[in-house]
């Protein structure tokens, strides 16, 4: 495809309620969108970098600038005809910035598939038409407040509950949810790197509660520590932040650092690399599930397409739009009978609602090839 221009848009998305994790509290998402314009179609993508460098070293402002100053000039210099498969090699000389690269690639891929009339799910090899939806529950001020929130999500039909934990908010809330709602609910915990190896004995206190998994208890770089922890706990260890590529997934599995992998396309550099992570895990017999970064409908639609691949066998973090936003950028995604349908229209299957986008956009920048 010939890229005529690329528009970078910043959008302020207020959350329905504050979302607290071990690394901070979010009340507003500073969303960076990428719009690729070609003669045949427009492609949309969402950069999942947060407003601040807390989940990872990337953040929305830096992602915006690295796209404008480094990634898009390289993409434009790649020549007249650009394909999604050629984006990663063209951007490879720029170190890191996986979330920014993922958004550029995803926008090109969306335009390419829309022009060809092919849904992203089919392109990636999805075999599932509906995705089992779980919900991520942030850290609360009290256990009774937490129980009330979890009860509401179970009433809404969510198939799995994930509790965010941190030191001082871990064993007690997990035990309370398990006791109150019983052994039948699917329950897991996510630490977002809040613990150290010295906390191994304490974390073993989660073992009696039958968790599906304990997600990313240690720092991103401490893959060896996760392998040690995995030998001490009966609760399966799942890696999130540590898995930044298919190679990283292979090495973590090889040393026994995880029994389950969370896949977030932005974290690994794009949907094409995410598919490779899926394939590495499938070959090793390690199940995967789809993580979330509080995406709007743009990112949510693409994540649903990926989550349809066959080795996504655990409930996802892809929840209904109303979990986070009163008004999504796209038509809202809704949970019905615990599932969300995979979009089947070409590309990601959705686009922003123009009037909603115009109301919420805070900044626009358009870049074009020179010459």
Q: CB–CB of 119/344 below 8 Å?
A: yes
Asked if 354 contacts 361 with a C-beta cutoff of 8 angstroms, the reply is no
DSSP letters, 70-128, are: IIHHHHHHT-S---HHHHHHHHTTS-S-HHHHHHHHHHHHHHHHHHHT-BHHHHHT---
Give the whole-angstrom CA distance, residue 358 versus residue 285: 46
Task: Tell me the two tokens of residue 96.
Answer: 């890191």
Catalytic residue, chosen from 101, 114, 164, 179, is 164
Specify whether the CB–CB gap between 107 and 45 falls below 8 A. yes
CA distances from 324 to 45, 138, 300 (A): 18, 12, 12
- Is 114 catalytic? The answer is no
Residue 91 · residue 48 · CB < 8 Å: no
CA-to-CA separations, 1 to 7, 17, 105, 106, 366, in angstroms, rounded: 16, 41, 13, 14, 18
- Catalytic residue status for 264: yes
> Which residues are within 8 A (CB) of 271 and not within 5 positions of it... i.e. 6 or more apart?
102, 105, 106, 109, 120, 124, 265, 302, 305, 306
* Active-site pick, 101, 114, 162, 264: 264
- Give catalytic residue positions: 164, 264
């Amino acid at each position: 495809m010939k890229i005529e221009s690329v528009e970078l848009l910043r959008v302020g998305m207020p959350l329905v309620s504050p979302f607290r994790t071990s690394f901070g509290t979010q009340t507003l998402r500073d969303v960076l969108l990428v719009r690729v314009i070609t003669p045949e179609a427009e492609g949309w993508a969402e950069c999942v970098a947060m407003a601040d460098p807390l989940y990872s070293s990337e953040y929305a402002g830096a992602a915006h600038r690295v796209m404008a100053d480094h990634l898009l000039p390289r993409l434009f210099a790649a020549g007249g005809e650009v394909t999604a498969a050629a984006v990663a090699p063209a951007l490879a000389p720029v170190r890191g910035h996986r979330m920014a690269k993922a958004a550029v690639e995803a926008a090109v891929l969306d335009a390419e598939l829309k022009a060809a009339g092919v849904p992203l799910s089919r392109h990636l090899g999805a075999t599932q038409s509906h995705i089992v939806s779980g919900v991520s529950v942030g850290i609360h001020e009290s256990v009774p407040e937490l129980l009330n929130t979890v009860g509401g999500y179970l009433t809404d039909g969510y198939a799995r509950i994930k509790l965010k934990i941190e030191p001082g908010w871990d064993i007690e809330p997990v035990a309370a949810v398990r006791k109150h709602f019983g052994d039948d609910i699917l329950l897991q915990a996510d630490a977002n790197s809040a613990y150290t190896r010295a906390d191994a004995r304490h974390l073993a206190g989660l073992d009696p509660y039958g968790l599906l998994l304990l997600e990313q208890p240690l720092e991103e770089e401490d893959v060896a520590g996760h392998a040690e922890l995995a030998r001490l706990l009966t609760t399966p260890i799942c890696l999130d932040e540590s898995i930044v590529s298919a190679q990283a997934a292979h090495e973590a599995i090889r040393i026994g650092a995880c029994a389950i992998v969370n896949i977030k396309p932005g974290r690994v550099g794009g949907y094409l690399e995410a598919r490779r992570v899926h394939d590495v895990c499938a070959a090793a017999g390690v199940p995967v599930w789809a993580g979330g970064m509080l995406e709007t409908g743009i990112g949510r639609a693409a994540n649903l397409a990926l989550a349809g691949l066959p080795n996504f066998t655990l409930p996802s973090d892809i929840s209904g739009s109303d979990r986070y936003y009163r008004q999504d950028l796209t038509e809202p995604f809704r949970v019905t009978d615990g599932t969300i349908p995979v979009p089947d229209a070409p590309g990601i299957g959705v686009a922003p609602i123009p009037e909603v986008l115009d109301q919420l956009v805070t900044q626009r920048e358009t870049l074009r090839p020179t010459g």
